[in-house]
Structure 1
Amino acid sequence: MSKRLRWILLSSIIFYGAASQASELFILQSPAFADNGLLDKKFAGNAKDNPNCTGENHSPALIWSNPPEETKSFALIVHDPEGAKGLGVTHLVAYNIAPSATGFPANALRDGKMFTGGKNSPGSDRWHGPCPPPGSGAHHYAFTLIATSQAPDLPPGLTREALLEKLKGKALAATGLIGRFGQ
């Protein structure tokens, strides 16, 4: 066999192996926005007591694939690190998500469906859409999905910090997606 033919064969095997591994990555996506893409205004919050909440408080659909086989539950956190002038704002703390779940339909996070709600920064147990102040630029909303070995039996009302503490040593893998929104 010629050197060139061996090189082509070896390169094909390496490429195929890398491509098959890449297709098995744990990934989170949304049909509503691309990673690092802009969120529609309808996803912004609509709290009557906050003039920065100019949206409809819809929650985006999310889909995920290829979690670790030993996953017993998922947790989802949506956090804005630029919020509160850099102190951060947590928009969603959701956990006890069934290991058979592959996503959330539109507005399920707003409606409290398919998860146990923790306590977000505004004090709610559901999706609270973005409400950045005008002139603060486009904030980054990090959607972080964590596959865990934790049985889906955590109590409701955990804050982001308390949930992360409970998941120490039980996180199997994580994937993320960024949505941006500004006014």
Structure 2
Amino acid sequence: MSPPLRFALCSALLFSSGVLHASDLFILQSPAFADNALLDQKFAGNDPKNANCTGKNNSPPLVWSNLPPQTQSLALIVHDPEGQRGLGVTHLVAYNIPPSATGFAPDALKSPNGFTGGKNTPGTNSWYGPCPPPGSGAHHYTFTLIATDLPPTLPAGLTREALFEKLKGHQLAAAGLIGRFGQ
């Protein structure tokens, strides 16, 4: 067999044996918005102490599929890297989500039922919708779902950073989704 033909055959075998089909990927989606699309005003925060919170503070529905087989719990973080002029704002820290869950219904993230609430940047343990200042452009709200091999026994009140410390070495895979919002 000629060297170019041998190379082509070996390459085809190598790539075909490791191909993942889209249906096998760990994915996170929302029926309320497409990846990198604008979030509806109703998902923005509603805080009388903050004039930038002009929405209803509804939490969007989320669905996921194809968890890694060894998953014992999930964690969900919603973070705005442009918030606080680049220092970032964490809008949700949720963990101890059971692997039997396949998503969250609309507004299910407004109270810690079905998850343990950590401490977000505003200091609450549940969904705190986007509140970007007018004129700062459309911020990117990154929803990251992490499959872990940890049992769902982490203590309540962990910040994003403290949760990441607990998850080190225990993360199996992550799926992400971005929603944008601006005033």
TM-score norm. by structure 2 comes to 0.90
Hey, what does 2:49 align to over in structure 1? 49
2-structure distance, mates of 1:50, 1:24? 43
1:83 aligns with 2:83: yes
Hey, what does 2:101 align to over in structure 1? 101
Q: Name structure 1 gaps, 5 residues minimum.
A: 1-10
2-structure distance, mates of 1:116, 1:68? 21
Extract structure 1 runs of 4+ deviating beyond 3 A: none
TM-fit CA distance, 1:107: 0.4
> Percent identity of the aligned residues?
72
Hey, what does 2:145 align to over in structure 1? 145
TM-fit CA distance, 1:110: 1.0
1-structure distance, mates of 2:153, 2:111? 20
Q: Name structure 2 gaps, 5 residues minimum.
A: 1-11
1-structure distance, mates of 2:111, 2:30? 18
The one-character-per-residue Cα deviations of 1:134-164 (angstroms, maximum 9, x if unpaired) are: 0000000000000000110000000000000
1-structure distance, mates of 2:163, 2:93? 8
Amino acid at match of 2:43: F
The one-character-per-residue Cα deviations of 1:107-131 (angstroms, maximum 9, x if unpaired) are: 0101222100000000000000000
2-structure distance, mates of 1:24, 1:104? 21
Contact 2:111 2:125 in 1 (8 A): no
Hey, what does 1:157 align to over in structure 2? 157
The one-character-per-residue Cα deviations of 1:74-123 (angstroms, maximum 9, x if unpaired) are: 00000000000000000000000001111000001012221000000000
2-structure distance, mates of 1:40, 1:22? 28
1-structure distance, mates of 2:22, 2:85? 37
The CA RMSD measured in Å over matched residues stands at: 1.6
The SS at the match of 1:131 is: coil
2-structure distance, mates of 1:22, 1:30? 17
Within 5 A, what are the aligned runs for 1:8-157? 18=19, 21-157=21-157
